[in-house]
Structure 1
Amino acid sequence: MGREAQITQTFVELADTFVKDFDVVDFLHQLTVRCREILAVTDAAVLLAHPGERLHSPAPCDPSPAFQEVIAAALAQGPALDAYRTATAQIPTRQVQARTRWPTFTAQTRAAGYHYTCALPMRLREDILGSLLLLRTAARPLPAADLALAQAFADAATLGLLHAHTREHQEMVNQQLHTALHSRIVIEQAKGILAARRNTSLNHAFNAIRHHARNHGKLLTTVARDVIDHELLASPDGQRTDTASE
């Protein structure tokens, strides 16, 4: 698929929040996946401030300890937190600027192998939900065209989430956001378990979980718990190995 087609598909995905079985965790994960696929970034993470004022990391991401430490640092200091608080993009032009403004966060990202980071607000007019953190192993700033596209993705995702809140399933979306941090932990555990069972990569394991959730109209978290508790997807055909009912 060409880049233009990928961009078009991404905007379609980010607008698709009116489905009955809308899964906010899957939605946010797709945003980070598309950023890595389309933009000149190594990794991406969504940080949301719902519920409450503190930022959380609800979307499944790279489970490596180094990246998890970067995310933990980003919740306390750095461009993602400032983008949320100011509702403006945080785009340092030189690494020395980042070291001066966010010394602890910058030291953590350097230790993890990232040499440039920036963040964009997830906002719509007066509503700001969080921020989109972008990380590069290259020391050069992100190209201006990619920054503009990333902001468009963040804006589309924000619009989609706010629209989801106005629908009949607002209570369900709020509950998903409320439990998203725990959900991410459950999904990461399921990815690791399934990858070990199938002797495959974490990405392939997650894709299997996501495919099963979409095919059966279930939330990612529900399928992840079944993988952990009932050996769902233990075999490549997606069946359980025990007698638990579907």
Structure 2
Amino acid sequence: MTGSTREAQLLDTFVTLADTLVVGFDTIDLLQILVERCVVLFDATDAGIMLDNGAGELEVIASTSERSHLIGLLQLGAGEGPCVEAYSTGRAVSVSDVEQIADRWPTFAARSTESGYAAVDAVPLRLRDTALGSLNLFREAPGALNPDDASAVQALADVATISILQERAVRQTDVARDQLQRALDSRVIIEQAKGIVSYTRDVDMDDAFKLIRDYSRSNRRRLSDVAAAVVDRSIRL
């Protein structure tokens, strides 16, 4: 990717995120767009996002593949890893080589290696003192983001956080929490729909999600609505 093309894609991503600063945007689709763009922009293998469910517990809300989704779940189950630390501290965490952090996060390091990931960069989704989760980039080759790219990833994460929290400026905190809860509930439905499509079409979970996403975009329907229709069998993909 040339420098000018990459710059154009980065600017387009900021515009896309800014377009969500309206009432009624689809949080799941916003975060899915963000992780997919980050993979392209920052030469990552996969990306994922964890969000606080409102009770101080993180959940995987968006990912570009099943293995990045599972690595996120692993960190939550083990209570360790760069993605969890980025959320809890509100600071970016960079692991340029997972083999070098076995003493710090043994479970995470072992499973990352098994999954083929050699490096991870995690940045917090935060606004001032409020942390919502973390945006995480996984790579199959060792290495870290350069300072300019690290700043760009954090800027994208900040805009996404503002998009999620913007209703707090005009409504009570409970409204924003309800919005996040709806997003988390939608993710459960999407996972169910992926399982159904994977089974009926005899494809893996990543391809099943792509079929659902493609249908959502081509028919201009919300991703969560399409997933619900797949689950209740009113749509057959």
Correspondence 1:88 to 2:91: yes
Aligned partner of residue 230 in structure 1, secondary structure:
coil
Matches within 5 A, 1:62-73: 62-63=65-66, 66-73=67-74
Quote the residue 2:139 is aligned against.
Answer: 136
Aligned partner of residue 62 in structure 2, secondary structure:
coil
Structure number with greater CO (CA < 8 Å, separation at least 6) is: 1
Contact 1:73 1:105 survives alignment (8 Å): yes
Distance in 2 between residues matched to 1:56 and 1:21, nearest whole Å = 22
Contact 1:95 1:116 survives alignment (8 Å): yes
Specify the code of the residue in structure 1 equivalent to 2:72.
I
Specify the code of the residue in structure 2 equivalent to 1:74.
Q
Structure 2 counterpart of 1:114, from 112, 117, 121? 117
Distance in 1 between residues matched to 2:96 and 2:68, nearest whole Å = 23
Q: Which runs of 5+ in 1 are unaligned?
A: 235-246
Q: Taking structure 1 as reference, are residues 208 and 173 closer, same or farther at Cα in structure 2, changes over 3 Å only?
A: farther
Matches within 5 A, 1:21-100: 21-59=24-62, 61-63=64-66, 66-75=67-76, 76-100=79-103
Range with greater deviation from structure 2 (146-155 or 191-200): 191-200
Q: Which runs of 5+ in 2 are unaligned?
A: none
TM-score (norm: length of structure 1): 0.81
Deviation at 1:6, TM superposition (A): 1.1
Contact 2:99 2:118 survives alignment (8 Å): no
Distance in 2 between residues matched to 1:137 and 1:38, nearest whole Å = 16
Q: Taking structure 1 as reference, are residues 15 and 70 closer, same or farther at Cα in structure 2, changes over 3 Å only?
A: same
Aligned length in residues:
229
Contact 2:122 2:134 survives alignment (8 Å): yes
Distance in 1 between residues matched to 2:173 and 2:214, nearest whole Å = 28
Name the % identity.
Answer: 36
TM-score (norm: length of structure 2): 0.83
The structure with more strand, counted as a fraction of residues: 2
Aligned partner of residue 114 in structure 1, secondary structure:
coil
Distance in 1 between residues matched to 2:100 and 2:64, nearest whole Å = 27
CA RMSD, aligned part only?
Answer: 2.7
Deviation at 1:123, TM superposition (A): 1.3
Distance in 1 between residues matched to 2:197 and 2:176, nearest whole Å = 27
Contact 1:41 1:135 survives alignment (8 Å): yes
